[in-house]
Amino acid sequence: MSKKITIDPVTRVEGHGRVTIHLDDAGRVADTRFHIVEFRGFERFIQGHPYWEAPALVQRLCGICPVSHHLAAAKAVDRLEGLEPEDLSPAANLQRRLAHYGQMFQSHALHFFYLAAPDLLFGIDAPAAQRNVAALAMADQSLARKGILMRKFGQEIIRSVAGKRIHGMVAVPGGVFKPYDSTDRDYFLDGKAIPSIDTMIDWSLETLAMLKDYHQKHHAFLDSFAAYPSGHLGLVGSNGEMELYHGRIRGLDASGNQTLRDVPDDHYRRYFSEGVESWSYMKFPYLTHLGRENGWSRVGPLARVNVCDYIPTPLAEQERQEFKARSDGWPNHKTMHYHWARLIEILHSAEVIRDILHDPNLLSTDILRTGERRSEGIGVIEAPRGTLIHHYEANEKGMLTRCNLIVSTTHNNEPMNRAVREVAQQTLNLQPEITETMLNGIEVAIRAYDPCLSCATHAIGQMPLQVEIWNAEGQLVQEKIRD
Asked if residue 151 binds other proteins (CB under 8 A), the reply is: yes
**Inter-CA distances, 84 with 5, 55, 247, 356, 399, Å:** 50, 16, 12, 21, 20
Nearer to other proteins, 148 or 210 (CB): 148
- The one-letter amino acid at 387: T
Asked if residue 472 binds other proteins (CB under 8 A), the reply is: no
Asked if residue 26 binds other proteins (CB under 8 A), the reply is: no
Alpha-helical segments (H) within 39-196:
42-45, 54-58, 66-80, 90-109, 117-122, 133-139, 141-162, 182-189
Q: Which stretch, 148-156, 216-224, 241-249, 269-277, contacts other proteins (CB under 8 A)?
A: 148-156
Q: Which stretch, 10-18, 262-270, 274-282, 411-419, contacts other proteins (CB under 8 A)?
A: 10-18
Nearer to other proteins, 88 or 463 (CB): 463
Asked if residue 483 binds other proteins (CB under 8 A), the reply is: yes
Separation of alpha carbons 303 and 109, rounded Å? 18
Distance of CA 180 to the CA centre of its chain: 27
Nearer to other proteins, 75 or 151 (CB): 151
Separation of alpha carbons 382 and 360, rounded Å? 25
Asked if residue 160 binds other proteins (CB under 8 A), the reply is: no
Separation of alpha carbons 24 and 316, rounded Å? 47
Asked if residue 114 binds other proteins (CB under 8 A), the reply is: yes
User: Which residues, in sequence order, are CB contacts of 366 under 8 Å at separation 6+?
Assistant: 89, 90, 91
- Identified binder of other proteins from the candidate list 24, 49, 53, 63, rule CB under 8 A: 63
Asked if residue 159 binds other proteins (CB under 8 A), the reply is: no
- Identified binder of other proteins from the candidate list 98, 391, 464, 471, rule CB under 8 A: 464
Nearer to other proteins, 135 or 315 (CB): 135
Asked if residue 64 binds other proteins (CB under 8 A), the reply is: yes
Q: How far is the CB of 429 from other proteins (least distance, A)?
A: 27
Nearer to other proteins, 149 or 254 (CB): 149
Asked if residue 476 binds other proteins (CB under 8 A), the reply is: no
- Identified binder of other proteins from the candidate list 30, 121, 126, 166, rule CB under 8 A: 166
DSSP labels, 150-173: HHHHHHHHHHHHHSSSSS---EET
Q: Which of residues 227-256 bind other proteins (CB under 8 A)?
A: none
Size of the site for other proteins (CB under 8 A): 30
Closest CA to 214 of 316, 322, 117: 117
Q: Which of residues 125-144 bind other proteins (CB under 8 A)?
A: 128-129, 132-134, 137-138, 141, 144
User: Which residues, in sequence order, are CB contacts of 267 under 8 Å at separation 6+?
Assistant: none
Separation of alpha carbons 337 and 185, rounded Å? 34
Q: Which stretch, 7-15, 91-99, 285-293, 378-386, contacts other proteins (CB under 8 A)?
A: 7-15
Q: Which stretch, 151-159, 224-232, 248-256, 398-406, contacts other proteins (CB under 8 A)?
A: 151-159
User: Which residues, in sequence order, are CB contacts of 336 under 8 Å at separation 6+?
Assistant: 221, 222, 223, 225, 226, 227, 448
Closest CA to 468 of 432, 427, 439, 437: 439
Separation of alpha carbons 91 and 453, rounded Å? 34
Q: Which stretch, 4-12, 68-76, 245-253, 382-390, contacts other proteins (CB under 8 A)?
A: 4-12
Q: For the CA atoms of the chain, what is the radius of gyration?
A: 22
Instruction: Give residues in contact with other proteins (CB under 8 A).
Output: 9, 11-12, 14, 63-64, 114-115, 128-129, 132-134, 137-138, 141, 144-145, 148-149, 151-152, 155, 166, 462-465, 482-483
